[in-house]
Amino acid sequence: MFSLLVLVIRRDLVLAMRRRADVLTTLIFFVMVVSLFPLGVGPEMEMLRKMAPGVLWVAALLSSMLSLVRLFSADYIDGTLEQMMLSPQSLSMLVLGKMVAHWMVSGLPLVLMAPVLGLQFDMSAQALGVLIIGLLLGTPVLSMVGAIGAGLTLGLRGGGVLLSLLVLPLCIPVLIFGAGAVDAATSGLAVSPHLSLLGALMLLALAFTPWVTAQALRISME
């Protein structure tokens, strides 16, 4: 099962590198959204520090939505998804591999870019560290929960809008705890409760979302 997981991840990463424009679109959108807020709000540092956690997390959430539409669409069009469903291997494990590859392509670059963008908001080193840890725990949840919506809306006309309507409410807890951790670090409070809840959400998503997404794909393919 582990070798199957690695094979699916490697396959999706190779395909993503052949479509670098899609990867760069997500990253550029994230950079533009975060960078426009200081220009629109003004140079008041106190205000920028207060709004920084929410801005960065909302931008990361919206950026992850851009690539979710393509999570299964290419495999659906060329028939690969149908072959996956007919194969004797576990569809849940195949889906988990695609989730991990999606996070490595769309979520991990956001984590690496976030500290640089956080400097625009005059965030402290401690707040940046908490932001990185929070994004490392929270962005995989965005990919895994988003995969459920991508499976349910597969093949639908206007599926991108419906996907956002389905996924965004489910991602609100991640947004609250992620931004709350950075706010706690800035205020000198304990950040472990927020990060622990993010870790618990990631474990729950890891346990249930592959199976739920596999069932959603079977429903969409029928």
Across the range 4-33, mean pLDDT stands at 86
Residue 13 confidence (pLDDT) above 70: yes
Across the range 145-168, mean pLDDT stands at 82
In the block, tokens 């396959």 appear at 11
Report pLDDT for 158.
Answer: 65
Q: Which of 29-38, 64-73, 141-150, 189-198 has the lowest mean pLDDT?
A: 64-73
* Beta carbons of 141 and 201 less than 8 angstroms apart: yes
For residues 18 and 70, give the distance between their C-alpha atoms in angstroms, rounded to a whole number.
14
Give phi and psi for 19, each to the nearest 5. Answer: -120, 60
DSSP 55-79: HHHHHHHHHHHHHHTHHHHHHHHHT
Q: Checking phi first, is residue 113 left (phi over 0); if not, alpha (psi -120 to 50) or beta?
A: alpha
- Average model confidence (pLDDT) for the chain? 87
Domain count, the chain: 1
**Which stretch, 21-30, 31-40, 79-88, 193-202, has highest mean pLDDT?**
193-202
Which one-letter DSSP state was computed for residue 103? Answer: I
Report pLDDT for 103.
Answer: 92
pTM of the model: 0.89
Residue 49 confidence (pLDDT) above 90: no
Across the range 51-69, mean pLDDT stands at 88
Residue 155 confidence (pLDDT) above 80: no
* Beta carbons of 51 and 41 less than 8 angstroms apart: yes
In the block, tokens 């807890």 appear at 173
Type of residue numbered 157: R
For residues 162 and 95, give the distance between their C-alpha atoms in angstroms, rounded to a whole number.
21
Across the range 108-130, mean pLDDT stands at 89
For residue 11, the enclosing domain spans: 2-221
